[in-house]
Amino acid sequence: MSDPVTYFWIAVVAIILLVDLWAIVSVFRSDKSDGVKVLWSLLLVVFPVIGLAIWGVAGPRGIKRGSGPTSPEHSKG
C-alpha cells in the first residue's frame, strides 16, 4: 500500500466525493421542486463523475431565499 500511485488514486476519489457532496448540498439549497432535487441527487450519487459534469453544465442555479448568508458581513450584496 506504499505505492505512490495508490495514494494518488485515493486522493482523486476523495476529491471527487467531496465535490459530489458539495454539488448535492448545492442542489438541495436551490429553489427547484423536491422531485427535481431528488433526481439530481440520485444522478450525482449513482454517476459521481458523469453526474458532476452534467450538473456543472445543466444543474440547478440559484439559492433558495433564507438558505444563504445570514449576516451583512457574509453577503455579497
18-74 pLDDT, tens digit each = 999 999 999 998 888 999 999 999 999 999 999 999 998 988 876 766 655 566 665
- State how far the Cα of 22 lies from the Cα of 6, in Å rounded to an integer: 24
pLDDT at 62: 66
pTM of the model: 0.73
pLDDT at 31: 87
Q: How far is the CA of 57 from the CAs of 37, 45, 50, 70, in angstroms?
A: 16, 17, 11, 28
